Amino acid sequence: MNPITNPFAPGAGTRPPELAGRDELRETVRVATERVRRGFSSQSVLMIGLRGVGKTVLLDAMRDSAEGAGIHTIRLESPEDRSLPALLAPELRVALLRLSSDQRAKEFAFRALRGLAGFAKALKVKYGDIEVGFDFDPEPGLADNGDLEHDLQALFETIGVAAQKAETALVLFIDELQYVCETELASLIIALHRVAQRNLPVMVVGAGLPQLRGRMGKAKSYAERLFDFPEIGPLAEQAARFAITKPAVDQGVLIDEKALIRILQETHGYPYFLQEWGKQAWDTATSSPITLTDVEAASKVAVATLDQSFFRVRFDRLTPAERKYLRAMAELGPGPHRSGDIASALNRNVTGLAPTRSQLIAKGMIWSPSHGDTAFTVPLFDEFMRRIMPGVSWLDQ
């Protein structure tokens, strides 16, 4: 088929041609943001799921809807190496400048900007990476203690008041939240708790890997109550079918039932894989309908492409010891696996492997579904590990 009109879109954060199967969750978040805007209580939302299930594109879609409804938003992605205050400060500044164009909110947004100036100045020493333009001088005593926990709370309150005056809300869309360190997470939770207590219209819609839930609870035990943690998984069968057929049919291309079933089997309904298989099946087929034979040929290309992209970028970031650990896990199957079993596969003891396991969790490669259990955060990663480190020689490396 003509590659120019190929609708499928594999890629991290790449908007899919059809955002299938997520309407209910989008509606839940829409209701939550509207409630917050009106001063009703509502939980912040943290979407939890493995790599490639569609968290980032959902965040973007939710943000677009919120903006369309007149809600103010900011969008952050936490990298592994920058502090939360450094990410937040410039985005909050832009949001406040926008809010200040509303006459009802103007004075309050200016006050929040003074708070932001104090916040950044006071925390500059601790977080050397804070860089933000100052529109006003700080107001002494406002968010300028130099203590993140206290200052973020004060800052969120002033922002909340400004948003309330403009009859809007400020929603913070934060991706990859599992990379935020525990003390910064705790400060964020405390600040959100404070604005929630005062019914101020500030909330977070976030996304992260499965370890995020535990990290939140560890940072502040009441986080479990303050947040809703919807789990984002592979698409259910009908939605997975639709994710493939709808974009194809929109371009006048049909797909045989057997071909479709094969795609569903190969991808297990994981959104990233659906996009990859859709794309390769389209490029392989020479005419409509796409057949089982087309999909069989496309599968090889899809696997090879994923090995070079989706899986590879993660593998490249690993040390030899980390690779070996993951390879041992892969030997045991998709998982989750007991730490003891992984250690046995490596002829080591659990304690000696603990640092490697912790690094892998910090890098977002694995997580612990329950005490002593270890699972991959990337779907089908066990199969990839067996392809990239075949045979048994990895054990001696």
**Residues interacting with ligand ADP, by CB under 6 A?**
9-16, 18-22, 49, 51-57, 243, 271-272, 274-275
Partner from ligand ADP, Mg ion, none contacting 9, C-beta within 5 to 8 A by type: ligand ADP
Measured over the CA atoms of residue 272, residue 275, residue 278 and residue 279, the dihedral's sign is negative
Alpha carbon distances (Å) from 55 to 3, 25, 149:
27, 11, 28
Kindly give the pairing relationship between strand 227-228 and strand 202-208.
Answer: unpaired
Distance, in Å, from the CA atom of 25 to the CA atom of 20, rounded to the nearest integer, reads 11
Do the Cβ atoms of 285 and 319 come closer than 8 Å?
A: no
Partner from ligand ADP, Mg ion, none contacting 300, C-beta within 5 to 8 A by type: none
Partner from ligand ADP, Mg ion, none contacting 54, C-beta within 5 to 8 A by type: ligand ADP
The C-alpha R_g of the chain, in whole angstroms, comes to 23
Partner from Mg ion, ligand ADP, none contacting 46, C-beta within 5 to 8 A by type: none
- Nearer to Mg ion by Cβ, of 55 and 324: the residue is 55
Distance, in Å, from the CA atom of 394 to the CA atom of 328, rounded to the nearest integer, reads 9
- For residue 184, which of 232, 231, 126, 107 has the smallest C-alpha distance? 126
Q: Which stretch binds Mg ion (CB under 5 A): 50-58, 142-150, 211-219, 366-374?
A: 50-58
Partner from Mg ion, ligand ADP, none contacting 337, C-beta within 5 to 8 A by type: none
Do the Cβ atoms of 144 and 151 come closer than 8 Å?
A: yes
- Nearer to Mg ion by Cβ, of 42 and 267: the residue is 267
Distance, in Å, from the CA atom of 80 to the CA atom of 334, rounded to the nearest integer, reads 26
- Nearer to ligand ADP by Cβ, of 177 and 389: the residue is 177
Measured over the CA atoms of residue 6, residue 10, residue 15 and residue 17, the dihedral's sign is positive
- Nearer to Mg ion by Cβ, of 56 and 356: the residue is 56
Q: Which residue, judged by CB position, is nearest to ligand ADP in the bound state?
A: 54
Partner from Mg ion, ligand ADP, none contacting 172, C-beta within 5 to 8 A by type: none
Q: Tell me how far, at minimum, the Cβ of 77 lies from ligand ADP, in Å.
A: 10
Q: Which stretch binds Mg ion (CB under 5 A): 52-60, 102-110, 143-151, 315-323?
A: 52-60
Partner from ligand ADP, Mg ion, none contacting 10, C-beta within 5 to 8 A by type: ligand ADP
Binding mask 56-95 toward Mg ion (x if CB under 5 A, else -) reads x---------------------------------------
Partner from Mg ion, ligand ADP, none contacting 206, C-beta within 5 to 8 A by type: none
- Nearer to Mg ion by Cβ, of 77 and 135: the residue is 77
Q: Tell me how far, at minimum, the Cβ of 136 lies from Mg ion, in Å.
A: 35
Listed in sequence order, the DSSP H helices in the chain are 23-37, 55-68, 84-99, 106-123, 148-165, 182-197, 211-219, 223-226, 237-250, 257-267, 271-284, 292-308, 312-315, 320-332, 339-345, 350-362, 381-388
State the amino acid at position 226 in one-letter form.
L
Q: Tell me how far, at minimum, the Cβ of 162 lies from ligand ADP, in Å.
A: 31
Distance, in Å, from the CA atom of 393 to the CA atom of 291, rounded to the nearest integer, reads 39
- For residue 84, which of 44, 119, 49 has the smallest C-alpha distance? 119
Q: Tell me how far, at minimum, the Cβ of 5 lies from ligand ADP, in Å.
A: 17
Q: Which residue, judged by CB position, is nearest to Mg ion in the bound state?
A: 56
Contact positions toward Mg ion, by CB under 5 A? 55-56
